[in-house]
Amino acid sequence: MRIVSIAKNELNVFRVSVFIFCLSFIYSSKLLSQPEIKAVFTEKAPAIDGFVDDEVWAGAAVVKELYQKEPRNGDPVTEKTEFLFLFDHNNIYVGIRCFDDPKGIIAKELARDVSLGEDDRIQIIFDTYLDGRSGYWFQLGPRGSIGDALINENGKYFNKAWDGIWDGKAKITETGWEGELIIPFKTMGFNKASETWGLKCIRYVKRKSETATWPATSLNSDKFQVSDEGRLTGLKGMTQGIGLDLIPYATGGLSKKENSDPELVIDIGMDAFYQITPSLKIALTANTDFAQTEVDEKQINLTRFSLYFPEK
């Protein structure tokens, strides 16, 4: 009888241990799960003018719980910030409200793809394949400077030479600054079978040396780390059209040699891009306009090793 009683006690202890383990697993899963928002479909597209005042924005999905990465890791962002998300069949729209003292906003740059390291700015990362390693990075400054890049290897590789087809506007207002982005789905590759993308929102307040993110992230995370992203759900019914983009060009001018009459010079050509699948695109060119090729970046070499420039 004593042996039977001991066996029953051990069985009860085992059951209690399993029960506690299951509760701990469920609780820890909730703690470790990333926050998510559901994107809102719209029949009417907002006007991309830099002012987030269209009526359609009132029903958009909103991200507003940003937390500091620096200087006080884990504290809420000091300046109220809102990222709003809408989409239709062809585009995803992002609205930004960055509340602030207009006199304290730092915004000097206007050009595309320039460094905004000394300006206030926001950045958005879409992990369209939800693999936690790659994504599309978009940046907007208070005066409308835009930039984009491809992210790979969880932020280790950052390809800013990539230029997608999209647009963004921003304006400084009495309550801070606002901005709007329109990003066509044909600009990005994605998995059509999935309705969920990874999402990361970042705001920089330069005068405070403050970086705030959604979701919250640790000091040890990489600047463009994708694996700690949140979730953007409800994305369905998107289309990339027939996937064909044609970009023609034409240039003209006069050529004059010594002791001869001026001659008219005309040059035409075309670039074509075809989206074979959501993740595979082919590019064709006829009579390429090499005048649009970027020049090599300036580098100072103080070593005995030769410099190597990336292919343009």
Q: Give the lowest-confidence range in 1-15, 74-88, 154-168, 292-306.
A: 1-15
Q: List, for residues 252-279, the tens digit of each pLDDT value.
A: 888 888 888 888 888 898 888 787 776 6
Identify whether 4 is part of a domain.
no
Residues 115, 264: one domain?
no
Residues 68, 160: one domain?
yes
Identify whether 29 is part of a domain.
no
Among 233, 250, 267, the domain-final residue is 233
Residues 209, 258: one domain?
no
Token pair 């835009």 is at which residue? 146
pLDDT at 287 over 90: no
> Which residue, among 94, 124, 281, 282, has the nearest Cα to 189 in the 3D structure?
281
Three-class SS string for the chain? CHHHHHHHHHHHHHHHHHHHHHHHHHHHHHHHCCCEEECEECCCCCCCCCCCCCHHHHHCEEECCCEEEECCCCCECCCCEEEEEEECCCEEEEEEEEECCHHHCCCCCCCCCCCCCCCCEEEEEEECCCCCCCEEEEEECCCCCEEEEEEEHHHCEEECCCCCCCEEEEEEECCEEEEEEEEEHHHCCCCCCCCCEEEEEEEEEHHHCEEEEECCCCCCCCCCCCCCCEEEECCCCCCCCCCEEEEEEEEEEEECCCCCCCEEEEEEEEEEEEEEECCEEEEEEECCCHHHCCCCCCCCCCCCCCCCCCCC
Q: How confident is the model at residue 235 (pLDDT cuts 50, 70, 90)?
A: very high
Identify whether 27 is part of a domain.
no
Identify whether 16 is part of a domain.
no
What pLDDT score does 305 carry? 87
Report how far residue 187's alpha carbon sits from residue 105's, in angstroms, rounded to the nearest whole number: 31
The answer to whether the CB of 189 falls within 8 A of the CB of 279 is yes
For 54-66, what is the mean pLDDT?
A: 95
What pLDDT score does 29 carry? 37
Whole-number average pLDDT of the chain: 85
CA 41 to chain centroid: 19
* Tally of structural domains, the chain: 2
Residues 213, 250: one domain?
no
Domain holding 87: CATH number? 2.60.40.1190
Among 233, 267, 299, the domain-final residue is 233
pTM: 0.76
Residues 193, 272: one domain?
no
Identify whether 28 is part of a domain.
no
Identify whether 13 is part of a domain.
no
Residues 218, 108: one domain?
yes
Report how far residue 52's alpha carbon sits from residue 278's, in angstroms, rounded to the nearest whole number: 30
Q: Give the lowest-confidence range in 49-63, 159-173, 193-207.
A: 159-173
What pLDDT score does 25 carry? 40
What pLDDT score does 128 carry? 94
Among 180, 206, 233, the domain-final residue is 233
Residues 198, 291: one domain?
no
Residues 225, 257: one domain?
no
Residues 173, 300: one domain?
no
213: which 2 tokens?
């993110």
Residues 247, 312: one domain?
yes
Q: What residue numbers bound the domain in which 41 lies? A: 36-233
Residues 141, 246: one domain?
no
Token pair 């009495």 is at which residue? 174
Give the count of beta carbons closer than 10 Å to the beta carbon of residue 154: 19
Q: List, for residues 87-123, the tens digit of each pLDDT value.
A: 999 999 999 999 999 999 999 988 888 889 999 999 9
Q: List, for residues 21-59, the tens digit of each pLDDT value.
A: 554 444 333 334 689 999 999 999 999 999 999 999 999
Q: Which long-range contacts (CB under 8 A, 24 or more apart) does 288-294 make?
A: 289/249, 289/251, 291/251, 294/161
Q: Which residue has the higher pLDDT, 25 or 170?
A: 170
Q: Give the lowest-confidence range in 88-97, 121-130, 291-300.
A: 291-300
Q: Is 74 left (phi over 0), alpha (psi -120 to 50) or beta?
A: left
Identify whether 104 is part of a domain.
yes
215: which 2 tokens?
């979701």
% residues pLDDT > 70 (the chain): 85
pLDDT at 11 over 50: yes
Q: How confident is the model at residue 231 (pLDDT cuts 50, 70, 90)?
A: very high
Residues 153, 200: one domain?
yes
116: which 2 tokens?
């905004």
Identify whether 3 is part of a domain.
no
